[in-house]
Amino acid sequence: MTDIAWIDPVLRAARPQVVGALTRYFRDLDQAEEAFQESCLRALKNWPVNGPPRDPAAWLILVGRNVVLDDVRRRAKSAPLPADDALSDLGDAEADLAERLDNSHYRDDVLRLLFICCHPDLPATQQIALALRIVSGLTVKEIARAFLVGEAAMEQRITRAKSRVAHADVPFEAPGAAERAERLAAVAAMIYLIFNEGYSASGGTVHVRAPLCEEAIRLARLLLGLYPGEPEMMGLAALLLIQHARAAARLDADGSIVLLDDQDRRRWDRDLIAEGLALLEKAERHRRAGPYQLQAAIAGVHARAATAAATDWTEIDRLYGALERLQPSPVVTLNRAVAVSKVQGAAAALALIEPLEEPLSGYFHFFGVKGGLLMQLGRADEARVAFDRAIALAHTPAEAAHIRLHLDRLMQQSQPA
Amino acid sequence: MLYAFLCCHDEALDSSWTKAQDDAVLAKRHKVTEKLAARGKLGPALRLMPTTAATTVRMGREPVVLDGPFAETKEAFLGLYLIDCDSLEEAIEIAKQIGRDEHATFEIRPVKQFYPSGLAS
C-alpha cells in the first residue's frame, strides 16, 4: 500500500493540466474526464513497476489521448466514421505535442478549463461546484459535504452545470491578450468565491470550511504560477493566504466567532502571512493597483500589527478609500466605516453608514456594525434594534451567537445586577 | 566534505499537500536530520517559499527584473540542506534516507566555499 501512496498526490497535482489538455483535444469535458480516469488507472498499474515518469502530466496526457483514439479507431471499424468535428485538432495535436509538453504551454489549457467552469450562464454556486469537480477533482461527496447539501442534490447540480457548459461556445484557439485578461479576471473572481464559500459558509454549522479555502489557495497559486507577472493574481493569492492565516484564531473552542480585535494573534499562521506579504510586495512594484491587491494590502495591515491596538487604521481607511474609488460599493463603504470609527470616532462612522441602510437592508454585517457603533455611542435601545435585525439576517449559528453576545452585554448594562 | 543537498520537487505536487501531509513529511525528515545534527554533521537548512514568490534579476547591459523563478521547469528548487559527509557514498545514502517514501529529487553538490556568517569582515 505504501509503495503506491505517492501516486495519488501526483495524479491530483497533474489533474488541471491533464484534463485541460485533454479537453482541448476532445473538445468535450466528459470525454476528457473519462480519458483522465483511464490514464490514472494505467498509471496506478504502470508506475509502481516502471517508476514515475519524468513528467507525469505529459505521460497522462499522452496515455489519455491514445486510449480514446484507440477506442474511436476500434469503433470506426464496425461503425461509420465519427463526424469530423469530434476529432478536430487531433492531426496538428500530434505534431506539436512534443512542444506542448513544455510547462509554459499548459497555461492556456488550465485557464480555459477554469474559464469553462465560470460560464456567465451558471449561478455562482454551480460555477464553484463545477470547478471543484472538474479542475480540483474533488469527489461529489466531498463537494456536497462542503456545501452542506445531500450527495444526490450535488450530483444533479454538477450534471446540470456540465450540460449547460457543454453547449457554451468557449473558443479553443489560444486566446489573444484581451481575451486572456478577461478570462483571468473571471477565473480570479470564481477562485475568490470558492474561498469565500469556505471562509464564511453561507449556512450550516461549520463556520470555517478549511478545505475549500485550501483548494482556492491551491488554484490561486496554480494560476499565478502560470501567469507570474500579473499583479492582480499576486494580489488574489496574497489576499487568500493572509485571510486563511487567521483561520485557527477565528473560532473559539465552542465554534463562536472571534472578532479580529479579540483574536489570539499567536495562532495566526506566520508562514502564510509571510508568503502573502512577499507576494504583495512584488505586486506593488507594478504600480497597477487593483481590487485584490488593495484587499490584500488591508489584510496585510492587520497581519503586520502585533496587537489589535497597534493596527494602522489610518492606512486601512486610506486603502478602503482607494478601493471605493476603483469599485464603489456599499459593502466597501461599510468596511471603511469601521476604520473611520477607529480614527475619527463612532459618530463619524455612523454618519458614513446611514445612507447605506437601504442598499444593505438585507445584510447581516450592516446591522452588526451599526449596532456596535450605536453601542459605543451609548444609544442602547437603538443598538438593540440593530442587533435584532442582525440576528434575523444571520446565516450561521456562529454569526447569530456573536450578536447575541453583544445583546447580553447591553442587557447587563441596562439592568445592573 | 560539505555537501549542499538541493531539494528539487514538482511544485504543483508540493503545494497540493495538505498541512497534515506537509507536517508528516517534515516530521519524517526530521528523524533523519536530528541524528545528523547530534553528530555535528548538519549545517544550516532552509526552505523556500513557492516560486510564485520569486523575483529574478537578470543582469545585462540593462538589468531586467522578472516575476517568477529564473527557469520555468517542472521541478523547482524548493529548499536546501548543508551536510558534512565523509564521502559521496554517504551523501547519497543520506539523500535516500531524507527522501524516503517521497516523490522528490535531491541534487547533491559539493560545496566549494562556505561563509557561515556571511562575508562581512
Q: pLDDT category, B113, cuts 50, 70, 90?
A: very high
Q: Where are the domains of chain A?
A: 1-101
Predicted-complex ipTM score: 0.86
Q: Report residue A81 as a C-alpha cell.
A: 466514421
Q: pLDDT category, B108, cuts 50, 70, 90?
A: very high
Question: Which domains are delineated in chain B?
Answer: 2-47+74-110 (3.30.70.1060)
Residue B106 has pLDDT above 80, yes or no: yes
Interface contact flag, B49 A278, Cβ < 8 Å: yes
Q: Residue A14: its chain B contacts at CB < 8 A? A: 12
Q: Which of residues 84-103 of A touch B (CB under 8 A)?
A: 103
Residue A99 has pLDDT above 50, yes or no: no
CA-wise closest residue to A111 among A39, A179, A193, A30: A179
Q: Residue A52: its chain B contacts at CB < 8 A? A: 103
Q: pLDDT category, A94, cuts 50, 70, 90?
A: very low
Pick the more confident residue, A23 or A235. A235
Q: Residue A218: its chain B contacts at CB < 8 A? A: 15-16
Q: pLDDT category, A265, cuts 50, 70, 90?
A: very high
Residue A98 has pLDDT above 50, yes or no: no
Cβ pair A407, A384 in contact under 8 A:
yes
Q: Which of B14, B15, B16, B21 to mutate to test the interface with A (most CBs of A within 10 A)?
A: B16
Residue A89 has pLDDT above 70, yes or no: no
Alpha-carbon distance of A56 to A103, in angstroms, equals: 12
Pick the more confident residue, A86 or B57. B57
What pLDDT score was predicted for residue A79?
A: 57
B10: contact with A, CB 8 A cutoff? yes
What pLDDT score was predicted for residue A151?
A: 92
What pLDDT score was predicted for residue B13?
A: 75
What pLDDT score was predicted for residue A86?
A: 47
Secondary structure class of A260 (helix, strand, coil): helix
What pLDDT score was predicted for residue A1?
A: 40
Average pLDDT over chain A reads: 86
What pLDDT score was predicted for residue A206?
A: 52
Interface contact flag, B65 A9, Cβ < 8 Å: no
Interface contact flag, B13 A10, Cβ < 8 Å: yes
Pick the more confident residue, A83 or A299. A299
B13: contact with A, CB 8 A cutoff? yes
| Alpha-carbon distances, residue A332 vs A253, A336, A353, A395, B22 (angstroms) | 30, 6, 11, 20, 36
Task: Indicate the Cα dihedral angle A268, A271, A274, A275, nearest 10°.
Answer: -120
Each residue's pLDDT tens digit, A169-191 = 777 777 888 888 888 999 999 99
A10: contact with B, CB 8 A cutoff? yes
**Intra-chain end-to-end CA distance of chain B, in Å:** 25
Alpha-carbon distance of A358 to A356, in angstroms, equals: 6
Secondary structure class of B111 (helix, strand, coil): coil
Averaged pLDDT, A150-157:
92
Instruction: Determine how β-strand B75-84 pairs with β-strand B105-110.
Output: unpaired
